[in-house]
Structure 1
Amino acid sequence: MRAFTVPAPDTDPAMTELEVPRPGPGEILVRNACCGLNFADLLMMRGKYQEMPEHPFVLGMEIAGTVEALGPGTEGPPPGSRVALFGGRGGLADYGLFPADRAVVLPDQIDFATAAALPVAYGTSHVALDHKARLRRGETLVVLGAAGGVGLTAVELGHLMGARVVAIARGEAKLEIARQAGADHLIDARSSDIRDQIKALGGADVVYDAVGGDLFRAAFRAMKPEGRILVIGHASGDVPQIPANHLLVKNVDVLGFYWGGYLRFRPEVITDSLATLFDWAAQGRIRPHISHTLPLERAAEGLELLRSRASTGKVVITMPPAP
């Protein structure tokens, strides 16, 4: 089989020929059909990701395909099932071995490309808002970096979950994208009075922050009592420091959140979330945006689209169907 492999530290990935693996206990063999690319793939190939596999390894985190076989004594979707999963690696190959308990059976209405574009971005926002922050209908959700990859899904899902969504992004064009995704109120991230604008809307019940820096500090100061602020990331490069006495006085919660961490200690949170998201996608309630679809032999080009920020949506790599 073909596999886009990182052979050793500090080396570029390359297409290699490998034997099709056999699943062991607890594993599932998938005939990969599509793989969604992520910025984390770029970090992993440079040895900078927080969870590095041993070399050599095959890149590709988000996978959709068809079950070929189950390992001995393994329970899971039977061969022939159409599934999607977050494998963490192994997706940029014709076949992949993955933990069987991560596989989610796809509704018939969901094509493989859509399934491979959904897990990380939508899964991050859904688990963060629903499981972690327990966002309730009618609450005010403030999304920082609302036109970014995960921020836009937070706007879309927050609207779908019945929240009043305040989108904060830089410039009219990005704010318009957030508005089309369901934002009720728009605030330009370049404004000098973001705190005052949020407070004028009644304050924030939940803040979704993948940015950090000054935006975090402004939103934190505009939170309602018993508000929750989700720390998703710090794309600004400025990791804010939070005075504990402010938490005490304001009666607010700061919630650290790492989606992939649940795969280690509560994988059912991820699989249950993905089942919900695929059901919503089948109903047309969410629509992942795919800007580029490329064949496996052009995987390096797809990664360069991410690195250069030339893509406007998800980049998906496709593998031909099994003969």
Structure 2
Amino acid sequence: MKAILCKAFGPPESLVVEDLPEPVPGPGEVVVAVSAAALNFFDTLIIQGRYQYRPELPFSPGGELAGTVAVLGPDVTDWAVGERVMAYVGWGAGRERVVVKVQDLIRLPEALSDERAAGLTVTYGTSLHALQDRARLAPGETLAVLGAAGGAGLSAVELGRLMGARVIACASSADKLELALAHGADDTLDYGATDLKDGLRRLTGGRGVDVIYDPVGGALTEAALRAMAWEGRFLVVGFAGGNIPKLPLNLVLLKGCDVLGVFWGAFREREPAHHRANMARLVAWAAEGKLSAHVHAVYPLERTAEALDVIARREARGKVIVKP
């Protein structure tokens, strides 16, 4: 069985492809034959030992996968060999076969391809949890999405539109904004050429934004917060820009707004039934064509380092997939 391995923390170029023994499932587990594994920004950190989780070496990057059930554990009765599934495993998906706990499996309809399904869990799961569960986004409200052309950003644009919001896509170039428009954004703002605070206030007629979705961090965070509407909700999703900002809390006071943390991984562990309901909703929407689950590119397993470099350079427009 081939696997891409991180044997020592370092850059993507330090990853190697090796043959490993076939995995054996234990009680409550199955082996999934992986047909597509999705990479995320956190994979660029986890292989360097810079993420909040540090897996025991060696390990494979890749937290999301889609494939077919290949082997059943000794007590597994609710699943059958050959069933198409998707799963989130944290790390370890970058290999031909992976052991997965049955509670982490989601059945896939025929209308949803493995490549699209593999990249659905983290970005769309995070965005649905953020917009639905944390911000309580309502139809008619204004949603501003920072980093709108990345995997997380595009998912927030699509879900915001599907939930009835007016979506302002914010990104650093015209080509990124064109992609966001193609995925349902109502308005765009190029913060590489325009001041973010002034631009958001102009697009909202001075009222401000009801909900801000921020997976970028850095200097953009305070600028966006200054454009927030009264009793708005600011979603802290991540720090793809590299810097964790410090906010002047007087802004929160003056705007009567909420700053809400979005820790999808902890939500998934603490509220598994809620998470599974969210995933069932996302899979149905994707199968019906209501969500694009847009794939930026598909790479063979041997080119995982190249795929991770694309994510690290923030060049990905949607999900980056590797295929064993």
1:285 corresponds to 2:290: yes
Is the deviation greater in 295-304 or in 183-192? 295-304
Question: Could you say which residue in structure 2 is the equivalent of 1:191?
Answer: 194
Aligned residue in 1 for 2:267: 262
SS at match of 1:124: helix
1:310 Cα shift? 5.3
Alignment of 1:223-242 (within 5 A): 223-242=228-247
* Match for residue 160 of structure 2 among 154, 158, 163: 158
Deviates more, 1:68-77 or 1:32-41: 68-77
User: Does the Cα contact within 8 Å between 1:30 and 1:67 map onto a contact in 2?
Assistant: yes
Structure 1 stretch displaced more, 173-182 or 123-132: 173-182
Aligned to 1:93: 95
Contact 2:301 2:322 in 1 (8 A): yes
* Aligned position for 2:119: 117
Describe the shift of the 1:31–1:157 C-alpha distance in structure 2 as closer, same or farther (beyond 3 A): same
Q: Residue 6 in 1 paired to residue 6 in 2?
A: yes
In structure 1, the gaps of 5 or more residues are none
What letter corresponds to residue 143 of structure 1 in structure 2?
A: V
Distance 1:144 1:166 in 2: 9
Q: State the Cα distance separating 1:229 from its structure 2 match.
A: 0.6
Aligned partner letter, 1:88: G
Amino acid at match of 1:223: M
Other-structure match for 1:140: 142
Give the aligned partner of residue 181 of structure 1. 183
Normalised by the length of structure 2, the TM-score is 0.89
Report the counterpart of residue 82 of structure 1 in structure 2. Answer: 84
CA contact (8 A) 2:150 2:316 kept: no
Indicate the larger mover: 287-296 or 122-131: 287-296
Letter in 1 for 2:210: D
Q: Do 2:208 and 2:230's aligned partners in 1 also have CA atoms closer than 8 Å?
A: no
Report the AA paired with residue 240 of structure 1: P
- Give the letter for the 1:283 counterpart: E
Deviation of 1:62 after TM superposition, in Å, equals 1.0
Q: Within 2, Cα distance between the matches of 1:65 and 1:260?
A: 22
**Contact 1:65 1:82 survives alignment (8 Å):** yes
Shift of 1:238: 4.0
Deviation of the 1:231 alpha carbon = 0.5
**Equivalent residue in structure 2 for 1:275, among 280, 293, 303:** 280
Residue 311 of structure 1 and its aligned partner are, at CA, apart by 4.5
2: distance between equivalents of 1:115 and 1:150? 15
The 3-state SS of whatever aligns with 1:36 is strand
Structure-2 separation of matches of 1:213 and 1:19: 43
SS of the residue corresponding to residue 180 of structure 2 reads helix
Alignment CA distance shift 1:179-1:292 (3 Å): closer
**Which amino acid counterpart does residue 307 of structure 2 have in structure 1?**
G
Question: 1:61-119: per-residue Cα shift (whole Å, max 9, x none)?
Answer: 11001112333435653332110011112211111012221110001111111111222
Which segments of structure 1 move beyond 4 Å, counting only runs of 4 or more? 308-311
Once residues 250 and 309 of structure 1 are traced to their aligned partners in structure 2, the CA distance between those partners, rounded to angstroms, is 32
| Residue 212 of structure 2 corresponds to residue 204 of structure 1 | no
1:318 corresponds, among 300, 307, 323, to 323
Secondary structure, aligned partner of 2:4: strand
Query: Hey, what's the Cα distance between the residues in 1 that align with 2:265 and 2:218?
Result: 23
Describe the shift of the 1:228–1:32 C-alpha distance in structure 2 as closer, same or farther (beyond 3 A).
Answer: same
Listed one character per residue, the Cα deviations across residues 21-66 of structure 1 (whole Å, up to 9, x for unaligned) are 2212332211111111222222222211211211121222110011
Q: Any gaps of 5 or more consecutive residues in structure 2? A: none
Maintained 8 Å contact 1:76/1:103: no
The 2-side partners of 1:7 and 1:236 are apart by: 27
Distance 1:199 1:301 in 2: 40
Partner of 1:58, secondary structure, is: coil
2:19 corresponds, among 17, 20, 44, to 17
Q: Look up the SS of the partner of 2:177 in the other structure.
A: helix
Change (3 A) 1:117 1:95: same
* C-alpha RMSD of matched pairs (Å): 2.3
Cα 1:236–1:2 change in 2 (3 A) is closer
Distance 1:264 1:19 in 2: 29
2:72·2:80 contact (CA, 8 Å) conserved in 1? yes
Aligned-pair distance for 1:309?
4.8
Structure 2 CA distance for aligned equivalents of residues 222 and 108 of structure 1: 43
Which amino acid in structure 2 is aligned with residue 156 of structure 1?
E
- CA deviation profile, 1:154-202 (whole Å, cap 9, x unmatched): 1111011110112222233322222222122222213232353254163
2: CA distance, partners of 1:113 / 1:211 = 25
